[in-house]
């Protein structure tokens, strides 16, 4: 069963004023349980608006959202409960830290869920372990930590709520390559361990190509496509026209294919690229050997 | 939503009033307030109403905005009107007597006039912020307060602080919105519970907000120092304020109206 389903979801900002703006229109989505989805789109394409709907922070102007088959806005009293099922990590989440210690900050979410003290403790430690927050860091003030550490603590704060669906908005923005790979790796590990659904909003096609099984492309407030990663990158030229960059590898392989080399132009990971290049060399060597004989 | 709140409600435009020198606009606003309070006769107040209507028509600001600016002061208007109604006494017979409460015709007149006066006051002065950008406004205030430098008032610094404060209002509102959403996503409950519970629920919002405000202040201070900001001494302006003909026309109209109101006061000794 689809864990997230939307029907004709639309949202209009500042309706009835001169500043009216259509943020998303007619979004029909169905995201299955346990999927790792990359959400890409240009600035202002409606990505952020969409994910805020999935968590119930924004109310749709029209259309419906079903989480686990339940209509999110059917009963306002249940909204908070449904919200716990969908964990949302905002952009630059380190700016939301407020508690005296890292431990208490991570515990904020689970405590709000009304869990018992042991359960809260268990979850905090589990979440901290996922993102490598050490025991030593737990008793520090979150304001003493470095930027990357803060970010990981903030992500742990949401992981500790153990949501069925985890949504991260640009979790790697402003981090160095090492920190970026680290966080993405940890999220991937978490997903594989918990078998949860994870949505990651990202600008970086490289990142999306690396981790996502499926990709959701937003363009001009509409869903441009939602499909398996390979299939999405088959439309590389259209994606480029939208002003989104396809991975560097894909660019190179598109060019190679253009030049007449027998390669797949829709290659989007370094791994696949490596295999193809090696195969090409082997074939060439074999040819040369033949010619020599 | 928080973002719907407008502060420093400037509406860009190209009307006569928009183009006026901000200093003259402040002076004219002060003159208008003087006119309203000098006018002690209904006829004089009528002139005040006429002036504010004319000004809004010239500036092309919609009447809706007048209503919006008046909304928060409605309780004050009602309060002063009621006060005047009950406590004003006059030589004539009371209109109504109810126990110890006596309502005189003078009280009614005074209540109405006071209400009209406050409404004109708010509508008229709101026009200043509707037609002048906050930056222009602080520039003008800095110049107008210039003489205070002689008595060691840090005029430039005050103006700079005002400019920065105004500049950061929208930024901080946006920031608050973001933090609120983030904490709500973590299950923070701000809508229900007792007053103390709700006050406690504000902590997760206020602390990150203060932290970010201080961070921004720090960054801004650094950026200003990098551009060699050294306070007012020797600092020149890119946009020099200059009076134009229209400013003197506006001043003349204002003074004329003031004179008229005084004349009305003298020649109509009775309440007309």
Kindly list the domain boundaries of chain B, sorted by start residue. Answer: 2-132+242-267, 146-226
Closest-CA distance, B123 to chain A, in angstroms, reads 22
A contacts of B178 (beta carbons < 8 Å) = 90, 95
Residue A92 lies in a domain: yes
Answer yes or no: is A241 within a domain: no
Residue B1 has pLDDT above 60, yes or no: no
Verify that A82 and A120 share a domain, yes or no.
Answer: yes
Residue B4 has pLDDT above 50, yes or no: no
- Contact call for A83 and B187, based on CB within 8 A: yes
Letter string b/e over residues A71-82, b meaning 16 or more CB atoms within 10 A of that residue's CB: ebeeeeeeebeb
Could you tell me how many residues make up chain A?
293
Rounded to the nearest angstrom, the minimum Cα separation between A83 and chain B is 7
Q: Which residues of B120-159 are buried (b: 16+ CB within 10 A; e: fewer)?
A: bbbbbbbbbbbbbbbbbbbbbbbbbeeeeeeeeeebbeeb
Q: How many domains would you assign to chain A?
A: 2
Q: DSSP for A202-230, please give it.
A: -S-HHHHHHH-SEEEEEETTEEEEEEEHH
- What band does B169 get if pLDDT is binned at 50, 70 and 90? confident
Average model confidence (pLDDT) for chain B? 85
Would you say A65 and A54 are in contact if contact means Cβ atoms under 8 Å apart? yes
Task: Give B270's pLDDT tier (boundaries 50, 70, 90).
Answer: low
B191 near A CB under 8 A:
no
Shared domain for A287 and A229, answered yes or no, is no
pLDDT in tens, B135-158: 888 888 888 888 888 888 888 888
Tell me: pLDDT of B234 over 90.
Answer: no
**Residues A102 and A147 reside in one and the same domain:** yes
**Same domain (yes/no): A225, A264:** no
- Residue-wise pLDDT for A40-72, tens only, equals 888 888 888 999 999 888 889 999 999 988 888
Q: What is the pTM of this model?
A: 0.73
In terms of DSSP bridges, do strands A36-41 and A62-67 run parallel, antiparallel, or are they unpaired?
unpaired
Contact criterion met (CB < 8 Å) for B187 and A112: yes
A178 in any annotated domain: yes
User: Is the pLDDT reported for residue A160 higher than 90?
Assistant: yes
- Residues A202 and A273 both lie in one domain: no
B-chain CB neighbours of A98 within 8 Å are 203-204, 207-208, 211
Residue that is last in its domain, among A187, A210, A236 = A236
Q: What average pLDDT does this structure show over B87-110?
A: 77
Taking only residues 4 to 43 of chain B, the set having a beta carbon closer than 8 angstroms to any beta carbon of chain A reads 4
Interface contacts A/B by beta carbons within 8 Å: 55
If pLDDT is split at 50, 70 and 90, which confidence band does B230 have?
A: confident
Whether residue B204 and residue A143 make contact (CB cut-off 8 A), yes or no, is: no
Tell whether B265 lies on the interface with A, counting CB pairs under 8 A.
no
For residue A179, name the pLDDT band (cuts at 50, 70, 90). Answer: confident
Chain A hits for B204, Cβ within 8 Å? 96, 98, 108
Q: Could you tell me the residue range of the domain that residue A7 belongs to?
A: 2-236
- Regarding whether A166 and A138 lie in a shared domain, the answer is yes
Average pLDDT over residues A30-37: 91
Residues A287, A199 share a domain: no
Q: Which residue of chain B has the CA closest to A155?
A: B186
Residue B86's pLDDT band, with cuts at 50, 70 and 90, is: confident
Kindly state the tokens that stand for B69: 């600016």
Shortest alpha-carbon distance between residue B79 and chain A (Å) = 33
CA A218 to chain centroid, in Å, comes to 13
Residues A257 and A226 in one domain: no
Burial profile B54-69: b = 16 or more Cβ within 10 angstroms, e = fewer: ebbeebebeeebbeeb
Out of B179, B189, B208, whose CB is closest to A80?
B189
**B208–chain A nearest CA distance, Å:** 6
User: From the candidates B181, B186, B215, B216, which should be mutated to test the interface with A, based on the most A CB atoms within 10 A?
Assistant: B186
What is the per-residue pLDDT for A101?
93
The C-alpha of B64 sits at a distance from chain A's nearest C-alpha, in angstroms, of 13
Do the Cβ atoms of A23 and A11 come closer than 8 Å? Answer: yes
Do residue A156 and residue A290 come from a single domain? no
Task: Determine which of A96, A107, A171 to mutate to test the interface with B (most B C-beta atoms within 10 Å).
Answer: A96
Q: How confident is the model over A82-109, as pLDDT tens digits?
A: 888 999 999 899 888 999 999 999 999 9
Q: Tokens 């932290």 correspond to what residue?
A: B211
Residue B269 pLDDT > 70, yes or no?
no
Q: State whether A163 and A226 are in the same domain.
A: yes
Across the interface, of B4, B181, B186, the residue whose CB is closest to A108 is: B186
Q: How far is CA A244 from CA A34, A152, A216, A217, B178, in A?
A: 27, 27, 13, 10, 26
pLDDT of residue B8: 53
CATH number for position A103:
3.40.50.300
ipTM: 0.82
Q: Is A167's pLDDT higher than 90? A: yes
User: Do A115 and A163 share a structural domain?
Assistant: yes
Do A137 and A273 have their domain in common?
A: no
- Weakest mean pLDDT among A56-60, A131-135, A191-195, A261-265: A261-265
Tell me whether residue A242 is in a domain. no
Phi, psi of B210 (to 5 degrees): -65, -45
- Residue B222's pLDDT band, with cuts at 50, 70 and 90, is very high
In angstroms, the Cα distances linking A85 to A26, A92, B58, B86 are 24, 21, 56, 60
């Amino acid at each position: 069963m689809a864990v997230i389903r939307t029907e004709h979801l639309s949202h209009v900002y500042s309706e009835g004023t001169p500043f009216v703006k259509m943020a998303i229109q007619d979004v029909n989505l169905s995201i299955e349980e346990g999927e790792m989805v990359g959400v890409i789109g240009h600035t202002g394409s409606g990505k952020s608006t969409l994910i805020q709907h999935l968590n119930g922070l924004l109310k749709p102007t029209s259309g419906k959202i079903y989480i686990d088959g339940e209509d999110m806005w059917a009963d306002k009293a249940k909204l908070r409960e449904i919200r716990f099922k969908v964990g949302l990590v905002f952009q630059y989440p380190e700016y939301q830290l407020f508690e005296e210690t890292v431990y208490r900050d991570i515990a904020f979410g689970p405590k709000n869920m009304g869990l018992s003290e042991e359960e809260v403790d268990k979850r905090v430690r589990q979440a901290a372990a996922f993102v490598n927050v050490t025991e030593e860091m737990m008793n520090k003030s979150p304001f003493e930590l470095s930027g990357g550490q803060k970010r990981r603590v903030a992500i742990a704060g949401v992981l500790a709520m153990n949501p069925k669906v985890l949504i991260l908005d640009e979790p790697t923005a402003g981090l160095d390559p090492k920190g970026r790979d680290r966080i993405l790796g940890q999220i991937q590990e978490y997903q594989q361990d918990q078998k949860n659904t994870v949505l990651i909003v990202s600008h970086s096609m490289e990142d999306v190509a690396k981790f996502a099984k499926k990709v959701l492309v937003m363009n001009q407030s509409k869903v441009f496509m939602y499909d398996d990663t390979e299939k999405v990158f088959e439309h590389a030229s259209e994606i480029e026209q939208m002003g989104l960059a396809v991975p560097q590898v894909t660019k190179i392989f598109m060019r190679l294919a253009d030049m007449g080399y027998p390669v797949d132009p829709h290659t989007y990971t370094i791994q696949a690229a490596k295999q193809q290049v090696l195969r090409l060399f082997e074939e060439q060597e074999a040819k040369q050997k033949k010619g020599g004989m | 939503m928080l973002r719907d709140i407008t502060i420093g409600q400037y509406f860009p435009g190209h009307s006569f009033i928009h183009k006026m020198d901000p200093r003259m606009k402040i002076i004219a606003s002060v003159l208008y307030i003087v006119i309203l309070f000098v006018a002690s006769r209904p006829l004089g107040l009528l002139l005040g109403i006429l002036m504010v209507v004319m000004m809004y028509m010239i500036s092309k600001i919609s009447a809706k905005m007048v209503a919006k600016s008046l909304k928060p002061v409605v309780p004050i208007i009602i309060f002063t009107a009621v006060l005047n109604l009950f406590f004003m006494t006059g030589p004539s017979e009371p209109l109504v007597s109810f126990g110890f409460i006596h309502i005189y015709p003078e009280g009614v007149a005074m209540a109405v006039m006071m209400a009209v006066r406050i409404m004109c006051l708010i509508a008229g002065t709101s026009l200043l912020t509707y037609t002048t950008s906050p930056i222009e406004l602080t520039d003008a205030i800095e110049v107008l307060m210039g003489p205070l430098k002689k008595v060691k008032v840090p005029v430039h610094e005050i103006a700079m602080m005002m400019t920065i404060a105004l500049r950061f209002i929208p930024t901080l509102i946006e920031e608050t919105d973001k933090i609120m959403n983030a904490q709500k996503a973590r299950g923070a409950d701000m809508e229900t519970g007792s007053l103390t519970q709700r006050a406690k629920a504000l902590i997760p919002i206020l602390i990150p907000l203060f932290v970010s405000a201080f961070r921004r202040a720090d960054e801004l201070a650094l950026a200003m120092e990098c551009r060699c900001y050294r306070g007012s001494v020797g600092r020149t302006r890119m946009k020099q304020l200059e009076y134009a003909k229209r400013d003197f026309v506006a001043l003349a109209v204002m003074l004329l109206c003031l004179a008229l109101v005084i004349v009305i006061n003298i020649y109509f000794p009775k309440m007309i």
